[in-house]
Amino acid sequence: MKKEVFSLCFMCSVRCPIQVIVENGQVKWIEGNPHVPGMEGSLCPRGAAGIALLNDTQRVQSPLIRTGPRGSGKWKKASWDEALSYVAEKLKEIVAKHGPQSVVLGERTQLATHVSKTFLRALGSPNHFTHDAICKGSVNTACRSLFGYTDAQMGADYKNTKHIVFYGRNFFEAVEVRAVNNLMEAVENGAKITYIDPRVTVTATKAHDYFMIRPGTDLALNYALMHVIINEKLYDTRYVQRWVDGFAVLQDFVQPYTPEWAEQETGIEAHRIVTLAREMAKKKPSVIFHYGYRGASHPNEIYLRRSILILNVLMGSVEAKGGLFFKKGPGEVGGKPARKLTEQEGLPKVDVVRFDKVGTPDFPLPDKDHGVGQRLPLAILNEDPYPLKALIAYRFDPLMSIPDLNQNKRALEKLDLVVSIDINYSDIAWYSDVILPESIYLERLDCIQQANGLKPQMFLRQQAVSPRYDTRPGAIILKQLAERLGFGQYFPYETMEDLVRWQLEGTGFYLEDFNKKGFVAYTDKQILWNREDGIKFKTPSGKIELVSSLLENAGFPSFPAYEPVQVPPEGHYRLMVGRCAQHTHVSTQNNPYLHELVPENRLWINTKEAQRLGINNGEWVEVSSKVGSGQIRAYVTDMIHPESVFMLHGFGHEARLAARSFNRGLADTMLQENVTDMIGGSPALDHTIVTVKRVQ
């Protein structure tokens, strides 16, 4: 029997719409949803490797309870009832002894995040966090400081842009299929790409202009761009007058930051900076300075993100065709969004300080909806603000995602209970006391995706096949755990279908509506607000706040003076990390097909520096930082700035049962120091200095 199922990919976090062909209970074919513009059949390599994940025998096949020491790989196969009861009993003991706030749940943001949040609130703990801050915490805060919206409420109109500037945003290797195709279309219509990165990526090879910037100096470049734009009056005068608060302050602030000054700092010739500013101004407002992800991530990252966004503001590109836009929800057209479990009446509000202290004077600004995950090991080790005793890691791997692997391990050792809800033997699963295996995206119906944008829509991840192994959807696992803990009433469903129907109540849409194309739309027209009087900024002033009330009220300046990054001493390098098209962070390295394409990471090092150190291409080198060291093969190339070395994120796995990826390459978290932008919330992933030497 053959059937076609519309669904959503989950090989990475983008959730591309897909069509799956199933024959006799087997997935035979996956392609991009042909009904969705920009997809039309296309996939990325990770999406194409979905079948390999489904049939991989090296994923977790049943609930497991640890029998040997942590990380020994000694497990007892358990029934679901046994494993869930085990976890529930342990949690009860911990809550009784240390209070509910000693339980933390960290996850990769996903469609069932409202279920996890409900679980923790019902338990009475404030300690839910997502991976978001690690990815883009400062982008979020910067957006709120200027516009009153989070970054997730903003988008970029790639299709109509005329010039886009990327800061280490490796657009063509971090493939979001629709976005890539939209930008390709723009390029075919004459749009330009400028790419700024100390390292040459695929995106650099596709760009019209490339700046090999000195690592850590993106902010200097931006201040110089502003200097030119303001002094040559290249900005959108009308837009700035109508919508911008604090322009005069910015005007004074940027005066010292001339292109000639920036040339010294960034290594980019002054005339190229001037030219870029003028070119962007010619195409305004259909231009984009791309605000995330990557770019120079340092403890002052918030100011880098703000500077990128301010450049857009000066160009008048915010809420312009071909620029940035605010995502419109169903409310714009009189519709209702899908319900979330967190909206239930009677669900307890938890008013306790969070483990990461977000929302307190110590750490006032990051988004409480996501928390700041990289503070977790510090909170555990210092028992600050209180002891943490249990961690539920839901498809999030703190070991490999949070800087300073050794410290992360020391923190884990202090916990009484570590539970993983995962599909793979991730490294955190490997160090867990209990693994509760989740069904993969092809094996489960998932919660509604409320896709806001220029056209608000809803998408659905529909189940294609029954689970290959003894696995369950995460929303069912958490419900069954909740029942054992005595608060099952907040999970009013037995099956995922019940839950989705509950979510859709009152929206006017039904589960069956998704069968035809995989999505439903609230409107067929794109909504852009009127630039004269209709842009609804959510700041206190209703304007774009260059001088930000959010920042200033918390005691932070809007425009602190530029502080140069440290030049690495001779023989030292700034460690940069990034990704490739074939892997998703730490989660796909063991996929048979993706592993074959990119089996390990290498240390990129500039040819001249390598010569100085006597390192030949392909040789083993030892890389060391203040917090750790490890061995990796060198990739000697002219394609990287001499002050920096680079490695792909996500390698060096220690979970032996994920046999393909085990011990291949080196984990960047082994070397990175755990430093945070204490205003914006991002980890300073490019702030670590390392030494490199040849392994004798």
Partner 1 sequence: MSQYYLFQDIKKCIGCHTCEVQCKANKGLPAGPKVCQVVEVGPKFVGALPRASYIFMPCFHCENPWCVAACPTGAMQKRAKDGIVFVDEELCVGCKTCMSACPWGAPQWHAETGKVVKCDYCKDRVDQGLKPACVTVCTTHCLHFGKPEEIREIRRERHAKALSPLD
Q: Which residues in this chain contact partner 1 in the complex, by CB under 8 A?
A: 29-32, 40-45, 47-52, 172-173, 175, 177, 180-181, 184, 187-188, 190, 193, 200, 202, 204-210, 581-582, 592-597, 638-639
71: helix, strand or coil: coil
For residue 173, the minimal CB distance to partner 1 (Å) is 8
Q: Which is nearer to partner 1, 563 or 596 (CB)?
A: 596
For residue 197, the minimal CB distance to partner 1 (Å) is 10
For residue 202, the minimal CB distance to partner 1 (Å) is 6
Helix (H) or strand (E) holding 458: strand 457-459
For residue 415, the minimal CB distance to partner 1 (Å) is 37
Q: How far apart are CA 461 and CA 444, in angstroms?
A: 8
For residue 231, the minimal CB distance to partner 1 (Å) is 26
Q: Which is nearer to partner 1, 125 or 588 (CB)?
A: 588
Class of residue 2 by CB neighbours under 10 A (exposed 0-12, middle 13-18, buried 19+): exposed
Strands (DSSP E) along 293-387, which ranges? 324-326
For residue 658, the minimal CB distance to partner 1 (Å) is 15
Q: Which is nearer to partner 1, 97 or 208 (CB)?
A: 208
For residue 275, the minimal CB distance to partner 1 (Å) is 12
Residue at token pair 């099956």: 495
Q: What are phi and psi of 42, to 5 degrees?
A: -75, 150
Residue at token pair 């029997």: 1
Q: Which is nearer to partner 1, 597 or 695 (CB)?
A: 597
For residue 28, the minimal CB distance to partner 1 (Å) is 8
Q: Which is nearer to partner 1, 172 or 487 (CB)?
A: 172
Q: Which is nearer to partner 1, 173 or 384 (CB)?
A: 173
Alpha helices of 127-269 — where are they, by DSSP H?
132-147, 177-188, 202-206, 218-231, 237-243, 247-253, 259-266
The neighbour count for residue 124, using CB atoms within 10 Å, is 15
682: helix, strand or coil: coil
Q: Which is nearer to partner 1, 95 or 180 (CB)?
A: 180
Q: Which is nearer to partner 1, 208 or 626 (CB)?
A: 208
Q: Which is nearer to partner 1, 280 or 546 (CB)?
A: 280
Q: Which is nearer to partner 1, 401 or 661 (CB)?
A: 661
Alpha helices of 315-425 — where are they, by DSSP H?
376-382, 398-401, 405-413
Strands (DSSP E) along 530-669, which ranges? 544-545, 572-578, 602-606, 620-624, 629-637, 644-648
Class of residue 333 by CB neighbours under 10 A (exposed 0-12, middle 13-18, buried 19+): middle
3: helix, strand or coil: strand
For residue 17, the minimal CB distance to partner 1 (Å) is 13
Query: Which of the 8 DSSP states describes residue 500?
Result: H
Q: How far apart are CA 590 and CA 586, in angstroms?
A: 9
Q: How far apart are CA 319 and CA 312, in angstroms?
A: 10
Query: Which of the 8 DSSP states describes residue 566?
Result: P
Residues sharing a CB contact under 8 Å with residue 686, sequence separation 6 or more, in sequence order: 215, 216, 296, 297, 298, 574, 575, 576, 577
Q: Which is nearer to partner 1, 613 or 639 (CB)?
A: 639
Q: Which is nearer to partner 1, 130 or 589 (CB)?
A: 589
For residue 580, the minimal CB distance to partner 1 (Å) is 9
- Torsion angle of alpha carbons 228, 224, 269, 162, nearest 10°? -60
196: helix, strand or coil: strand
| 482, amino acid identity | A
Check if the beta carbon of residue 417 is closer than 8 Å to that of residue 89.
Answer: no
Closest-CA residue to 304 (of 421, 116, 167, 202): 167
Is cis: bond before 635, omega within 30 of 0?
no
For residue 229, the minimal CB distance to partner 1 (Å) is 23
Q: How far apart are CA 437 and CA 364, in angstroms?
A: 36
For residue 19, the minimal CB distance to partner 1 (Å) is 11
Q: Which is nearer to partner 1, 415 or 576 (CB)?
A: 576
For residue 635, the minimal CB distance to partner 1 (Å) is 13
For residue 565, the minimal CB distance to partner 1 (Å) is 24
Q: Which is nearer to partner 1, 204 or 417 (CB)?
A: 204
Q: Which is nearer to partner 1, 488 or 599 (CB)?
A: 599
For residue 294, the minimal CB distance to partner 1 (Å) is 17
Q: Which is nearer to partner 1, 37 or 256 (CB)?
A: 37
Q: How far apart are CA 264 and CA 231, in angstroms?
A: 20
For residue 604, the minimal CB distance to partner 1 (Å) is 12
The structure tokens listed for 177 are 């299929």
Give the pairing of strands 2-8 and 64-66. unpaired
The structure tokens listed for 588 are 């796909």
Closest-CA residue to 668 (of 615, 602, 608): 602
Check if the beta carbon of residue 615 is closer than 8 Å to that of residue 692.
Answer: yes
Distance of CA 538 to the CA centre of its chain: 24
